[in-house]
Amino acid sequence: MTIQILGMGCPKCQMLARNAQRAIQDTGIDAQIEKITDMETITEMGMLVSPGLAVNNELIQSGRILSSEQIARILRERSEAQ
């Protein structure tokens, strides 16, 4: 599973990345974090407001910082669906 953090690396993007890392550790799910800063790619993925969180190239949330618990819930749901 790949978790993408979309944004230019602002403090909010960094916090979202930390929360995603914590969620991976808490769930034990095999996942990697990829930071996407290319604006063309970000726009193609449908994000309008940063930061954004995508899982396997599907935009899940943008414009807010999800907690590690919220991200863990998303990862569990995605993992069970596979």
Active site residues: 10, 13
Residue 21 bridge partners (DSSP): none
- Please check whether residue 75 is in contact with residue 55, taking contact to mean a CB–CB distance below 8 angstroms: yes
CA distances from 10 to 46, 63, 71, 81 (A): 19, 12, 19, 32
State how far the Cα of 22 lies from the Cα of 4, in Å rounded to an integer: 14
Which structure tokens are listed for 4? 């993408």
